[in-house]
């Protein structure tokens, strides 16, 4: 007689493949509405995330204000790692969904002790969020260097101001630097968006491996090409709005996009067969 294999312990990543749902084209607008509701319920703690990110952007501006060849890549590279920086926003939306308190305690637990029931603190499962954040940081750094190299090597004159960038790169009649810059940025942005669309909330919420989370994110994007393209356009539009308002708009835009990303994950991925990361802690209560 065949003896069934024992179930995986709660501290092991699940081998189950998360299901992916299809959504309507306009569903991303619903995520934005839900995000604003979450921000209203969380209050200052949500806007504090946006303030921190806006201050980071201000530091980038201060360091590279007269080096626009570096500034263009640094700001866009900073946005590459934004999904990792928004992790505690996902946790706040999850707490609201569960009817729990969404306060500073949730934020501190997310960043300092996000798996307090995890036995093995040295395994890949425990550090998957950190690993993913490091990969995003590496991708962002790569883009900063690539962008700076393109502009400094191929621009006809030194690019030190936004006006010089517009005049000699964007509006240049002879040359293809701006088109090349956009094309390379798109080559980087498309796979990063596909890899991060739901991966970070999934890693936070369920006990899956980093590879499972990334593949699930790709499957969700490929199963919903038009709605996810619309979502990417909304992210770009809101981000440009935040940057174009002297970074002040980022105080509201960044937490809104973070909360909305949680609701995107909940709509796109069926996690009913996956164990929760903090299941043991919840049972203990």
Of the two residues 76 and 17, the one the predictor is more confident about is: 17
Tokens of 196: 């991060």
Q: How far apart are CA 83 and CA 124, in angstroms?
A: 20
Percent of the chain with pLDDT over 70: 80
Of the two residues 156 and 33, the one the predictor is more confident about is: 33
Tokens of 249: 């708009």
pLDDT at res. 225: 96
Q: How far apart are CA 184 and CA 228, in angstroms?
A: 21
Mean pLDDT over 14-22 rounds to 82
Buried b (16+ CB within 10 A) or exposed e, 40-51: eebeebbbbbbb
Tokens of 160: 């030190």
pLDDT at res. 181: 82
pLDDT at res. 8: 42
**Residue 123 pLDDT greater than 80, yes or no:** no
**Residue 276 pLDDT greater than 60, yes or no:** yes
Question: Quick count: other Cβ atoms within 10 Å of Cβ 182?
Answer: 12
pLDDT at res. 57: 82
Tokens of 207: 């006990």
pLDDT at res. 151: 82
**Residue 122 pLDDT greater than 70, yes or no:** no
- The band of 265, judged by pLDDT with boundaries at 50, 70 and 90, is very high
pLDDT at res. 10: 45
Residues in the chain: 285
Over the stretch 242-256, which tens digit does the pLDDT of each residue have? 888 888 999 999 999
pLDDT at res. 31: 98
Over the stretch 66-121, which tens digit does the pLDDT of each residue have? 776 666 666 666 767 777 778 899 999 999 999 999 999 999 888 876 555 444 44
Q: Which residues contact 148 (CB under 8 A, 6 or more apart)?
A: 69, 70, 73
Q: How far apart are CA 94 and CA 221, in angstroms?
A: 22
| Secondary structure string (H, E, C) spanning the chain | CCCCCCCCCCCCCCCCCCEECCCCCCHHHHHHHHHHHHHHHHCHHHHHHHHHHHHHHHHHHHHHCCCHHHHHHHHHHHHHCHHHHCHHHHHHHHHHHHCCCCCHHHHHHHHHCCCCCCCCCCCCCCCHHHHHHHHHHHHHHHHHHHHHHHHHHHCCCCCCCHHHHHHHHHCCCCCCHHHHHHHHHHHHHHHHHHHHCCHHHHHHHECCCHHHHHHHHHHHHHHCHHHHHHHHHHHHHHHHHHHHCCCCCHHHHHHHHHHHHHHHHHHHEECCCCCECCHHHHHHC
Over the stretch 183-193, which tens digit does the pLDDT of each residue have? 888 888 888 89
pLDDT at res. 283: 41
Mean pLDDT over 15-43 rounds to 93
Percent of the chain with pLDDT over 90: 39
Beta strand 269-270 pairing with 19-20: antiparallel
End-to-end CA distance of the chain: 39
pLDDT at res. 254: 93
Average pLDDT, the chain: 82
Tokens of 275: 């164990």
Spatial contact of 113 and 277, defined as CB atoms under 8 Å apart:
no
pLDDT at res. 116: 53
Over the stretch 154-211, which tens digit does the pLDDT of each residue have? 888 887 777 777 787 877 777 788 888 888 888 888 888 999 999 999 998 998 888 9
Mean pLDDT over 267-273 rounds to 93
Tokens of 102: 């969404």
Q: Which residues contact 48 (CB under 8 A, 6 or more apart)?
A: none
Q: Which residues contact 248 (CB under 8 A, 6 or more apart)?
A: 54, 242
pLDDT at res. 127: 61
pLDDT at res. 56: 85
């Amino acid at each position: 007689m065949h003896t069934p294999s024992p179930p995986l312990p709660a501290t092991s990543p699940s081998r189950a493949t998360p299901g992916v749902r299809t959504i309507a084209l306009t569903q991303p607008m619903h995520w934005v509405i839900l995000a604003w509701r979450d921000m209203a319920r969380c209050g200052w703690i949500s806007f504090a995330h946006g303030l921190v990110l806006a201050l980071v952007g201000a530091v980038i501006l201060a360091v590279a204000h007269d080096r626009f060849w570096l500034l263009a890549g640094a700001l866009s590279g900073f946005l590459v790692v934004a999904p990792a920086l928004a992790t505690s926003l996902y946790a706040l939306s999850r707490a609201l969904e569960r009817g729990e308190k969404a306060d500073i305690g949730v934020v501190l637990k997310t960043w300092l002790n996000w798996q307090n029931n995890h036995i093995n603190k040295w395994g890949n499962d425990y550090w998957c969020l950190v690993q993913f954040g490091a990969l995003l940081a590496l991708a962002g750094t790569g883009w900063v260097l690539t962008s700076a190299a393109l502009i400094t090597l191929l621009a006809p004159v030194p690019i030190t101001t936004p006006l010089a960038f517009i005049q000699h790169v964007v509006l240049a009649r002879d040359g293809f630097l701006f088109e090349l810059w956009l094309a390379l940025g798109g080559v980087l942005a498309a796979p990063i968006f596909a890899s991060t669309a739901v991966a970070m909330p999934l890693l936070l919420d369920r006990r899956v491996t980093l590879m499972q989370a990334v593949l699930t994110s790709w499957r969700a994007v490929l199963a919903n090409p038009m709605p996810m393209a619309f979502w990417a356009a909304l992210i770009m539009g809101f981000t440009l709005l935040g940057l174009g308002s002297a970074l002040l708009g980022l105080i509201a835009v960044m937490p809104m996009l973070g909360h909305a990303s949680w609701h995107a994950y909940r709509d796109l991925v069926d996690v009913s067969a996956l164990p929760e990361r903090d299941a043991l802690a919840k049972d203990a209560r």
